[in-house]
Homo-oligomer: A and B are copies of this chain.
Amino acid sequence: MNAESTARHRARRGEGERLRGEILAAAQALLIETADTSAVSIRAIADRVGVTPPSIYRHFADKDALMMAVCSQVFAQLDEAMEKAAAGAEDPFDELCRKGHAYVAFGMAHPEHYRLVFMIKHTLTKPRTLDPSELPGTEAFQHLQDTVRRAFDVRTPGVEVPDEFATTCALWTALHGITSARISLPDFPWPPLDDQLALFVAPWRGLLEPHPVATSKPHGKSAKSKR
């Protein structure tokens, strides 16, 4: 009778996947609109799709599986955003800066998704999470590590290089700190985001390029450190 009933058509035989997609989309929308993980219940999602709660179980084993699927979907977008941001980079260091910025921006644009993946305890003792590498966001981490490797590669040869993985962890942890702090305490009088990012990222240039060799574009302020 109403718009709802005309909008929803029962899926054809082979089209079982259609509802699956609609469920994921509805969960995403609710997560964004309510900005409250606890508001995204099986019932609320079903309501949004225009379907009854049990029909969700035809497409997802349980709520955890659904939420995992939601996260995977969003973190594919994170990886995409970071790769896109890195596309026009001049050098690996610039790439790190751009990726860092994209990371924080993404987290702040999807705070509840971010919370779901990185701010809630994930333990391997839960049988659900079989493989730590199956955690959403793994591609993005891998690609970040690739950039770190590339940054190491352009360094002056012969100079000792810190552990690649540990460096990526440190970098990621810094980005995570900025992102999660702002998500949790949005009313704290944070300094401007760009300033804070700069404070974190600047030392990395020093770490990666101790000898000012490939620095093609001094960004104005570098003169100061020369006295």
**Interface residues of A, Cβ cutoff 8 Å to B:** 35, 111, 115, 118-124, 132, 135, 160, 162-163, 165-167, 169-170, 172-178, 180-181, 183-191, 195-196, 199-200, 202-203, 206-207, 210, 224-225
Contact = CB atoms under 8 A, between A and B. Distances in A.
Contacts of A111: 121
A2 B111 CA distance: 49
Q: Report copies per complex.
A: 2
B176 A191 contact: no
Contact of A177 (B35, B167, B174): B174
6 contacts: A119-B184, A121-B184, A135-B185, A166-B199, A170-B196, A173-B178
A29 B170 CA distance: 33
Q: Main SS of chain A's interface residues?
A: helix
**Top-3 shortest CB links A-B:** A177-B177, A203-B203, A166-B191
Contacts of A163: 191
Give the one of A160, A175, A191 with max B CB within 10 A: A191
Contacts of A187: 122-124, 132
B185 A122 contact: yes
Given A166-B196, A170-B199, A191-B163, A178 B180 contact: no
Nearest to A132: B187
Which residue, of A124, A162, A177, A210, has the highest number of chain B Cβ atoms within 10 A? A177
